[in-house]
Structure 1
Amino acid sequence: MSQAVARAASFLFVPASRPERFEKALESGAHCVILDLEDAVPPDQKAQAREQLAQRLPGFTRAQLARTLVRINADGTSWHAEDLRMLARCVGQGLAGAMVPKAESASALRSVGMALGPDAKLVPLVESLAGLDEVDSLAGTPQVCRLAFGHLDFQLDLGMRCGPAETELTSVRFALVAASRRAGLPSPIDGVTVATGDAERLQADTERARGFGFGAKLCIHPAQVRAVNEAFSPSAADVEWARRVVEGAQARQGEAFSMDGKMVDLPVIRLAQQTLQRAG
């Protein structure tokens, strides 16, 4: 599994038709970059965008390729097969893999994996009721390394009109987190915040995602990256607390003990261990 994709907290979309933005995206602080051949590219520009991408990707360093995904066009579109043929060559050069939109069946995901080769990592986007119905199958498909939630397309698919807090999507977010846990995948990736200039909205969306158990978020502007990274990363105080818990547990050979007036038992110790892992 590509550790860059598995451990990333921020995934920044960049239109594949705008190669002049690639370097800025890679230097934005985003843990992973998604070069988008799907929604960000108009139909009459898709072939040109794919060709530009094929020309630019060989110029990426190995480290850059390892944290780069390409969002392909969905199965059933006229661009899907050509996207796969182009990407198969790039995966052999070190590209992490593909984000797969409109993911609705394990068989379609397996076909993408076979086309790209065994080294390609897949991040399926759950964007429809059909995708939600198959979420456990999607999570258990070979080469899938994380699930992602396309909450805007999901609302469109069901004719939903969600409020700012998106309480209407509570059960869907829980389903993605639970499916990831059952499949042994890293925590899933939550959807975008479209209000790129609204820091309060971004913070609220990110805190909601973290509260549900998501481990990352999709970004559509470099200005969103820093706040997302900080929200999903333990603070210095969190790390210090976790270090003290782990050291205390080791000294007592895992037995429950009291620290700062609170009981520390196995669930607390495991939380501290996870905190230290997230801190790197």
Structure 2
Amino acid sequence: MTATGVSGGAFPWGPALLFCPADRPDRYAKALERADAVILDLEDAVDPSRRTAAREALAASELDPERVIVRVNAAGTDDHDADLAALDVTPYRAVMLPKAERVADLAGLRDYDTIALCETAAGVLAAPDLARHDGVIALMWGAEDLVASIGGSSSRRPDGTYRDVARAARSAVLLAAAAAGRAAIDTVHLDIGDLDGLADEAEDAAAVGFAASACIHPSQVEVIRRAFRPSEEQLRWAQEVLAAAEEAGGGVFRFRGGMVDGPVLEHARGVLRRS
């Protein structure tokens, strides 16, 4: 796996990354079949009493290593060290580190391509430093642990939209990733039945530059894929405006009644990348 993000190389996976509890090996292959990549979760999805069994299942699994991410437990915990010992005997080399808060947390992950999960107040503030670390290929943010870390009780308003602190964290992590040439991954939508809300959030994620969205149920995968896939109209616009730029020979030009300059052309190229 050689990708280093949107600026440093192509994102190695498609837009829909599906979590799967690592203590449910019966679901591994099915989850991978449904999604662009599977995140085998040794942390929050697994009861502490079952983590040893989860590691054994992980070590025995035989999935496509190019499409597997393993979420280990947080640095500094006994579970973290045990997770890395189990991971070492597998071919999987993409790791998600939860509650990443400082560069030192990445010290044990030198042999892995790492997604740093910024889901605490300290983690969000450290996002620029984490993103610049050599082993980090992407940042992800998390809403629920973030709000818990600052003493709150809800990341969303009654209408389902994110509260301002969550929106600020989301933007901060996205900007930190982009500034370092890394990809950014949007967090999960916990209301499985709210596919319209998921679609709105995934469409926004694609529009502002996230490379992918994580999800927790197979029914969310295609919603995310559709949101990240440009419409025929968007694709046609991108192709036509780039063709017009070639004909114009450089500089600002007029296209369909509007002005086109460098940033607009970058938007068009972004549409083509997502296609």
Bigger drift between 152-161 and 138-147 goes to 152-161
The answer on whether the counterparts of 1:4 and 1:31 sit within 8 Å (CA) in structure 2 is: no
Which residue pairs with 1:271 in the alignment? 267
Note the C-alpha offset of 1:211.
4.9
How many Å apart are 1:212 and its aligned residue? 4.5
Structure 2 counterpart of 1:170, which letter?
A: R
Q: Which runs of 5+ in 2 are unaligned?
A: 4-8
Which piece of structure 1 moves more, 130-139 or 166-175? 166-175
**Closer/same/farther in 2, CA of residues 6 and 167 from structure 1, 3 Å limit:** farther
SS at match of 1:145: strand
Taking structure 1 as reference, are residues 213 and 82 closer, same or farther at Cα in structure 2, changes over 3 Å only?
same
Q: What SS does the aligned partner of 1:214 have?
A: coil
Equivalent residue for 1:8? 14
- Is 1:75 the counterpart of 2:75? The answer is yes
- Structure 1 partner of 2:27: 21
Q: Distance in 2 between matches of 1:152 and 1:139?
A: 21
CA distance 1:212–1:158, change in 2 (3 Å): farther
Instruction: Call closer, same or farther: CA 1:255–1:5 in 2, change over 3 Å.
Output: closer
In the alignment, structure 1 residue 195 sits paired with structure 2 residue 191: yes
Query: TM-score under structure 1 normalisation?
Result: 0.89
The match for 2:122 among 116, 120, 130 is 130
Q: Is the 8 A contact 2:58 2:87 kept in 1?
A: no
Contact 1:113-1:122 within 8 A present in 2 as well = yes
Deviation at 1:5, TM superposition (A): 5.0
How far off its partner does 1:8 sit? 2.9
> Match for 2:102: what amino acid?
S
1:240 matched to 2:236: yes
* Match of residue 184 from structure 1: 181
Report SS of the residue matched to 1:17: coil
Identity %: 37
Residue pair 2:19, 2:217 contacting (<8 A) in 1 also = yes
**Quick check: which one's helix share is greater?**
1
CA RMSD of aligned residues (A): 1.7
Letter in 2 for 1:248: A
In structure 1, the residue matched to 2:205 is 209
C-alpha distance in 1 between matches for 2:192 and 2:182: 29
Counterparts of 1:1-280 in structure 2, within 5 Å, are 1-2=2-3, 5-28=11-34, 30-56=35-61, 59-60=62-63, 64-90=64-90, 93=91, 95-109=92-106, 111-114=107-110, 117=111, 120-160=112-152, 161=154, 162-163=156-157, 164-168=160-164, 169-186=166-183, 188-279=184-275
- Aligned-pair CA distance for 1:6: 4.0
Per-residue CA deviation, residues 118-149 of structure 1 (Å, 9 max, x unaligned), is xx210011111111121111111111011001
Give per-residue Cα distances to partners, 1:40-73, cap 9 Å, x unaligned: 11111100110111011xx22xxx2111100001
- Give the distance between the partners of 2:180 and 2:13, measured in 1 at CA: 16
Tell me how far apart the structure 1 counterparts of residues 75 and 263 of structure 2 sit (CA, whole Å): 42
Amino acid at match of 2:39: I
Structure 1's 205 and 270: CA in aligned 2 closer, same or farther, altered over 3 A? closer
Distance 2:13 2:242 in 1: 22
Tell whether the 8 Å contact from 2:242 to 2:265 is kept in structure 1 after alignment. Answer: yes
- Whichever residue aligns with residue 18 of structure 1, its letter is R
Aligned partner of residue 156 in structure 1, secondary structure:
helix
Give secondary structure in 2 for the equivalent of 1:147.
Answer: strand
Task: Give structure 1 stretches of 5+ with no counterpart.
Answer: none
Report if the CA contact (8 A) 1:5-1:67 is conserved: no
